[in-house]
Amino acid sequence: MEEITLDILAFGAHADDVEIGMGGTLKKFAEDGRTTGICDLTEAELSSNGTVFTRHHEAQHAAEILSVTTRLNMKFPDRGLGISDDKLSALVKIIRKKKPRIVFVPYSEDRHPDHGHAARLVEEAVFSAGIRKYHPQLGDAHKVSQIYYYFINGFHRPQFTINISNQIEAKRQSLEAYESQFTLTPDSVSTPLTNGYVDKVIHREYLYGKESGVEYAEGFIAKNLLCLEEFPLGERR
């Protein structure tokens, strides 16, 4: 069977990172007929609430809601995302196998150090995946055209936004799939995630939408300079 290649591959340190930052955009890509993938770097085994088994189940449910083509987990150690040759090799193999056109990673300015470490690790892997002589046994070299950063925690000024007004409910549902993380129960402990976090994420996207002239939007930053053929003038009058 021929390996499915991806138009878009989004990396996160933990399952739920991608949904928080760009769940609506992934859903929009899928609705446009694009092949999409999520690659979680760890099993989030150090999370205050939930278990690895529960998180895997929730992640698959969220991926189904967002119509994601494929979801992977690298099973790197939680809080252990420093750059090493074994982790780079594993990621290079995935990138060369899936051949994504563009890649998304967490924005490095975030309260959780793992998010910045994840971004730097994937940046290194994307660069190495394009070098023909870098571990050729891992597959043919593949060059990703662009890396984009999405936001998890905090409110940052993006370079541009994507209109997700029609996808905001799917985004909310994908976040609510992580009941172990975002719902406070008698068996869980209180964390920033269990105190209205999903509503705060949705409100952030409302603010990005307000600043962009739409109802809801997600913000992004491009690693490399973007070049447009012409200015986006909007609808012709």
Beta pairing class for 160-163 and 146-150: unpaired
Over residues 80-109, the pLDDT tens digits come to 999 999 999 999 999 999 999 999 999 998
Return the pLDDT at 154.
84
Return the pLDDT at 232.
82
Residue 9: strand pairing partners:
37, 103
CA distances from 128 to 98, 119, 123, 124, 140 (A): 15, 14, 9, 6, 11
CA proximity to 214, closest of 148, 150, 160: 160
* Reported confidence tier of residue 231, pLDDT bands at 50, 70, 90: confident
Question: Is it the case that residue 12 has pLDDT exceeding 70?
Answer: yes
Return the pLDDT at 192.
87
Structural domain includes residue 227: no
Domain that holds residue 46: 8-222
Question: Under 8 Å CB-to-CB from 75, ≥6 apart: which residues?
Answer: 42, 43
Say which range, 3-12, 38-47, 170-179, 228-237, has the weakest mean pLDDT: 228-237
* Reported confidence tier of residue 1, pLDDT bands at 50, 70, 90: very low
CA distances from 175 to 45, 58, 89, 180, 232 (A): 19, 9, 31, 11, 32
Structural domain includes residue 96: yes
Structural domain includes residue 230: no
Residue 214's CB: how many other CB atoms inside 10 A? 16
Classify burial at 133, counting beta carbons within 10 Å of its beta carbon; exposed 0-12, middle 13-18, buried 19 or more: exposed
Structural domain includes residue 132: yes
Average pLDDT over residues 155-178: 98
Structural domain includes residue 64: yes
- Total domains in the fold of the chain: 1
Structural domain includes residue 3: no
Mean pLDDT, the chain, rounded, equals 95
Structural domain includes residue 229: no
Which CATH number does the domain housing residue 85 bear?
Answer: 3.40.50.10320
Return the pLDDT at 234.
72
Structural domain includes residue 231: no
